[in-house]
Structure formats: structure tokens, C-alpha cells
Amino acid sequence: MRKLDQGVVTHVDPMGEVLWASGLYSGDHPGSGSGLRVIDASKLYDAVGSVISQGKARGLLYEIQ
């Protein structure tokens, strides 16, 4: 759920860069090669859950405009 009236906007590109840097993604970056990438769903779940539980979601998963 997003609080659109408060300017909350989904913005997951920064989290994508974290996933690339940590070696969890494999394949090609968007705009390069096929642009397709893959990730183990359970590792993605753990990585995103960790970001949320640490209170670091703002800036990695969403922003406020």
C-alpha cells in the first residue's frame, strides 16, 4: 500500500543496484545486452526484508516527492 496523498512513490532502482553489487542478480543490466536478469526469489525476499526491518527502505524502495 502506498500513501499517494503523502507523495510516496515506488522507486526500486536503488535496491536493484544493491542487488547487482551484492552479486544476487545475474544476467544483463537494463539497457545492456538482453536487459534480462534473474535472481533467486528467496534471496530477493531476504534482501528486501532486511532493508525494511533495518528501516532503510526509504531511498532504496520508495521515495517521497
- Residue 52: pLDDT band (50, 70, 90) is very high
Looking at residue 21, what is its pLDDT?
96
Residues 2-43 have pLDDT tens digits of 787 888 999 999 999 999 999 999 999 989 999 999 999 999
Burial of 60 from C-beta contacts in 10 A (0-12 / 13-18 / 19+): buried
Domain ranges of the chain: 4-64
pTM above 0.85, yes or no: no
Looking at residue 43, what is its pLDDT?
97
- Residue 57: pLDDT band (50, 70, 90) is very high
